[in-house]
Chains A and B, each alone.
Chain A
Amino acid sequence: MLNKIYDWVDERLDITPLWRDIADHEVPEHVNPAHHFSAFVYCFGGLTFFVTVIQILSGMFLTMYYVPDIKNAWESVYYLQNEVAFGQIVRGMHHWGASLVIVMMFLHTLRVFFQGAYKKPRELNWIVGVLIFMVMMGLGFTGYLLPWDMKALFATKVGLQIAEATPVIGTAVKTLLAGHPEIVGAQTLTRFFAIHVFFLPAALLGLMAAHFLMIRKQGISGPL
């Protein structure tokens, strides 16, 4: 049955070359932990992607309950945490996943760095990777405010002070992020929500597409 549906679509759209381009490639021996256990260091990038997928899915479910305004944000998170079935699990996945994605990405970066895998011809992919790193830090920073509890508010105040320390454009940057040069309040929460849920994920998806396109085009770096 599934095969027939596949053939029916394939006859009309010729999809076989499409997914074979994405999925059909070789895995060299030196990156395969089945042959050399030490090759597990090559798993960190894939695990980063895996946790990122968890983050996107759990985040989508969180927005079904979360309300981004200062009166209801904390209440909605409290409700989600204590009343909603499996709410604690979904929020837990998003909370711990945020830490895990940083850990995995850090390990992946170190692996690439210490193996010198960023050298010619892979300079561009390294740059895109570092940009992904920055976007992830931005996601961590903006997401920290959203529960609107004490630590969220006061950590964000410190973070915005750091942004404000930038010479010349400091105040402008802070106003852009917080919605006001001094107040961290209702505007800040909605802006951080928009940045966390729309702007940065859009940038992240674009950068990840470029990252994967380049690794497929160039192939994985050879053994040391």
Chain B
Amino acid sequence: MHRGKGMKFVGDSRVPAERKPNIPKDYSEYPGKTEAFWPNFLLKEWMVGSVFLIGFLCLTVAHPSPLERIADPTDTSYVPLPDWYFLFLYQLLKYSYASGPYTVIGAIVMPGLAFGALLLAPFLDRGPERRPMKRPVAVGMMLLTLAAMIFLTWESVVTHDWEAAAEQGKIRAEVEIDKNAEGYKIAQTNTCTTCHGENLSGGAAAPSLVGTGLSAEEVAKIAKEGKGNMPPGVFKGTDEELKKLAEFIAGLKAE
């Protein structure tokens, strides 16, 4: 390129008037089968990218992203769970020397050491050797960390009650309940609301009573004999009351 004296410009700008030919560089002198990124390799990348994108879109169509019911800070029985990539940390904090009075160890010291070591890896592993077999300490530590993360994530997944988790987060239909109705008062005195909630919309231990699709007779039977987690004999009133309660519950319809 022409520089210095005698250089010509476009108008009064600093753009040189001399045009450069717009042809890709020649990489044939480079070692091996070197290829130009533009446009040869980029075209291949785009093709791989399109296949990847199609697979990704299939995933989004096949599995709609989850949405639980609106946050309710008063629900203290909710068992929280972070996104899957934080599960190993969540599990670590369950062990006795990483929780309670030792929370600092599990929450700060161990993750801090791991991340610090990762950040400073080039200064901890200083030898010129790059092959994994030739630097056993660094590679061994990384494999150990990987194994620990996989183990902790696995433990967290198998010890979590996924069905209860799905139940406690469900979006429930909101129904106006007449809390002065005789049926509701019977439900209160017989401790139905303790598990099924003040709005009878269910809780961590019991399903919603709204829109069950059961007949009054079926409701009465469950109230006396129990079902699933519910023990028999929860209902302690008279047959008259049972009938009223069953009709009230069976009459709760989701909008």
- Smallest Cβ distance from B200 to chain A, in angstroms? 19
Residue of A with least CB distance to B93: A162
A162 to B84, CA, bound (A): 17
Task: Check B73–A149 contact: CB distance below 8 A.
Answer: no
Contacts of A25 in B (CB 8 A): 36-38
Task: Check B13–A89 contact: CB distance below 8 A.
Answer: no
- Chain B binder among A150-158, A197-205, A206-214: A150-158
Known: A32-B35, A81-B67, A167-B104. A119 touches B122 (CB 8 A): yes
Known: A23-B38, A78-B67, A96-B59. A151 touches B81 (CB 8 A): yes
Interface residues on A, range: 35 or more
- Smallest Cβ distance from A98 to chain B, in angstroms? 8
A149 to B73, CA, bound (A): 10
Q: Mark A110-141, 1 if CB is under 8 A from B, else 0.
A: 10011111111011001100110110010011
In chain A between 4 and 60, which residues have their CB closer than 8 angstroms to a CB of chain B? 10-14, 16-17, 20, 23-30, 32, 34-35, 43, 46-47, 50-51, 54
Residue of A with least CB distance to B111: A162
Query: A218 within 8 Å of B by Cβ?
Result: no
In chain B between 48 and 67, which residues have their CB closer than 8 angstroms to a CB of chain A? 48-49, 52-53, 56-57, 59-61, 63-67
Q: Which of A24, A35, A114 contacts B38 (CB 8 A)?
A: A24
Contacts of A29 in B (CB 8 A): 31-35
In chain A between 155 and 187, which residues have their CB closer than 8 angstroms to a CB of chain B? 155, 157-159, 162, 165-167, 184-185
Query: A68 within 8 Å of B by Cβ?
Result: no
Task: Check A151–B31 contact: CB distance below 8 A.
Answer: no
Query: A95 within 8 Å of B by Cβ?
Result: yes
A109 to B254, CA, bound (A): 50
A120 to B48, CA, bound (A): 32
Q: Which of B63, B69, B130 contacts A117 (CB 8 A)?
A: B130
Task: Check A148–B71 contact: CB distance below 8 A.
Answer: yes
Known: A14-B15, A32-B35. A27 touches B132 (CB 8 A): no
- Smallest Cβ distance from A15 to chain B, in angstroms? 10
Contacts of A12 in B (CB 8 A): 10, 13, 15
Contacts of A75 in B (CB 8 A): 70
- Smallest Cβ distance from A151 to chain B, in angstroms? 5
Known: A92-B61, A147-B67. A35 touches B33 (CB 8 A): yes
Contacts of B79 in A (CB 8 A): 154
Task: Check A119–B56 contact: CB distance below 8 A.
Answer: no
Residue of A with least CB distance to B122: A123
Query: B119 within 8 Å of A by Cβ?
Result: yes
Interface residues on B, range: 35 or more
Task: Check B24–A151 contact: CB distance below 8 A.
Answer: no
Task: Check B32–A28 contact: CB distance below 8 A.
Answer: yes
Q: Mark B119-132, 1 if CB is under 8 A from A, else 0.
A: 10111011011111
Contacts of B85 in A (CB 8 A): 99, 102, 137, 140
Task: Check B71–A150 contact: CB distance below 8 A.
Answer: yes
Residue among B49, B80, B123, B139 with the highest chain A CB neighbour number at 10 A: B80
**Minimum-distance CB pairs A-B, first 3:** A92-B60, A29-B32, A116-B130
Beyond A27-B37, A93-B60, A151-B80: 12 further Cβ-contacts under 8 Å? A24-B37, A25-B38, A26-B30, A35-B32, A115-B132, A118-B121, A130-B115, A140-B86, A149-B69, A151-B169, A159-B82, A165-B103
Taking Cβ atoms with an 8 Å cutoff, the residues of A that contact B are 10-14, 16-17, 20, 23-30, 32, 34-35, 43, 46-47, 50-51, 54, 70, 74-75, 77-78, 81, 88-89, 91-100, 102, 109-110, 113-120, 122-123, 126-127, 130-131, 133-134, 137, 140-141, 144, 147-155, 157-159, 162, 165-167, 184-185, 221, 224
29 contacts between A and B (CB under 8 A): A11-B19, A17-B20, A23-B42, A24-B24, A24-B36, A25-B36, A25-B38, A27-B36, A28-B31, A74-B70, A89-B61, A92-B60, A92-B64, A92-B65, A93-B60, A95-B65, A102-B85, A114-B132, A114-B139, A116-B130, A119-B122, A147-B67, A150-B68, A150-B70, A150-B71, A151-B80, A159-B82, A165-B108, A166-B107
